[in-house]
Structure 1
Amino acid sequence: MSESLHTVETTAAGPDRPELREAIQEIVDSGFAGMQLRVNDERGEWVGTAGVRELGGAEAPPADGHFRIGSITKTFTATLVLRLVAEGRIGLDAPADDHLPGFGLDRRITVRMLLQHTSGLFSFTGEVYDDGTVVPGGVPGIGKEWMDNRSRTYRPEELVRPALSRPARFAPGADWSYSNTNYVLARLLIEKATGRSHAEEMRRLVLDPLGLTGTVVPDASPEIPEPHAHGYYGYEDAGRWTVADTTRFNPSWISAAGDMISTTRDLHTFFSALMGGRLLPAPLLAEMRTPHPKMGYGLGVFVEKTDDGGTIFQHNGGFWGWAALMYSTPDGSRTLTGSVTCGDAELDLAATVQAFEKVKQRLVKEVFCDGRTAPDRPTG
């Protein structure tokens, strides 16, 4: 592990929150390169960073830097679909096949099922079955294979067609299973229903109305706006531990299921506005926040109960080199948004997830449970 991971002092702005400073430093000390965190609540706004912007350097991560948000993209995509439902362009309980007739979708699969992961469709990034069987998807998923293909451009149709040729996991609506295929189909549905690109519609209905100038729908561009930290992906190559800089790569392999870039400020603005009822009509926001009983997943958001009987909404995200956090109270008045960049510590995937989950739970406990013990959190 690089010594530089421990030499940079935590920086913070706003009221002193030692419990938050300690928590983000714990992330860095567990083997991550850096973290930036933003908390907005009744005490004001607190912004802090820990670790380094780039391995081998001494500069702290930028406090409002850009980062890859992974599956938080799904919340943006679901919000966009629901905005189009409000405009009357899409029916929430209409067959998805109405807009995507060339894909041979089961007519029982509705738009709602895509957004809630109840379609039963195989995920193009691969599946892990209840008996532990791992079935690869249609895109290179991990390690050197992923690195070797990180500059390749995939069309959305290329992602979903192989997945649609696989047997469904269950009948539409009969169960719940997190599938990236659902959200690439949602992108295609948006484009068919509007005649415009997913990025254009995202700007028209979500980004521009909120002034989210730091949020990007990159499509196939590998670039990330300045300022930003660097993400790193550690993997085994021919029996040797190798660490690659994954700051820039072509995100078309994940598309509208996880390709977007944002900042902690923009995520706060977006999620506070969404939860506060400023983006969706009340009936559609209620639909979004109604959870499936299996995993507490609504339409693009996880719904959680806290120990004190409260409710919080969240969607986290991550892939090779990056992780992102986005939480809010139901009225949008208290939010937590953040980014973590991976470092050069030789951690396997299970150890990385365990370390991240531990500190994530601590942060949620401090912000939403006033320091009391918080429940286990689902990931996304």
Structure 2
Amino acid sequence: MSGTYGSVAPTRLRPVALALRFLNGGVIGVSLSALVVGVLIESVPLVLAGLGLPPAYGLLRFVGGRPRRAREAAIVPLVALAKVESLRAGGTETGDLPVEFVLTVAPDGAPAYRVRVTHHVNLVDLPSYQKGDVLVVDYPPDRPWRARIVSHPAPEWRRRVAEAVIEPAPESTMVRKPPEGCASGVLTVLGLLLGAATVAVLFRAQLFAPETGTRPPEPPTSSSSTTVTSSGSATIDVGQGRSLLDAGELRHAIDSLATNTDVSQTLTAVVQERRLTVVFAPTGAQVPRFDLRALRVDDIPGLVRKALSTLQVGTPPTWQVTIVQLPTTLAVRVTVTGPQGSASLAADGG
């Protein structure tokens, strides 16, 4: 049985579990794609849908998982004695410290095994836990890696603790949650790709519509105009004969926009030949955002010129730069569109 405890062979997920992995990936793909596409076509409802889908899906998963959690709670756990082989306290901002224990668990009528558990201990009670102490633990019969320390065992188990002598189990008997195998990861990635592609296909008409067909002609003026909407976006247009690729123009546009609204709450920004469009993060939403003033604007013209010279989409091409704050980096992407289609070039915004 010690070999069974120490096994880390991949688990065989049920079809329902595999389907949920696929659905998880699909929700992630749809949400990210909706954010990007919503910015590109300037659709605030689509951006808000991308922001609201993950919380709604999480709530549905929580409600749908109640029967399973009830079944698991109804399983009577096994109780056993355990010896502390080592312990290490972590940091915390509260009075309870997360302490990582390595235990030798000695079930009645079964071989001993090792397990790693985390138990929260009050700072005052920490000295009462020492290496070599004997404790009481319980765990689900089919998941010994989910062992937990029983803080207040029954009187019978307290008597057994006082009399117990437990030999250390070999380190090779350490139990861990088995990995889920490659099928789970493959289905998650497949769901992500299909979810992202679905949004792009549904809104392909708006994505690839000609630039001149979606906006009225700009008035022949050399002055700039700024528009701030109540829906959480702002636009600044430079006049005819000027381009945001010109030296200092993009920085001037950002500074001008900063005088009218708070650009430190930028969710996404789109730079075009003579237009800068910014979508701001909704108030209170826990989403990645960035300060538009911190953007390395001097890198944008070079990136656009590189995309125009290397991406072959036919003549005449149009371009736009999309800046999106991801959880770990600022993503900058140049999209070039021409008679032969669209292509993009990505760079790290830093």
Q: What TM bracket, shorter-length normalisation?
A: under 0.3
Comparing both structures, which one devotes a greater share of its residues to strand? 2
Report the structure number with the largest CA radius of gyration. 2
Q: TM-score, normalised by structure 2?
A: 0.24
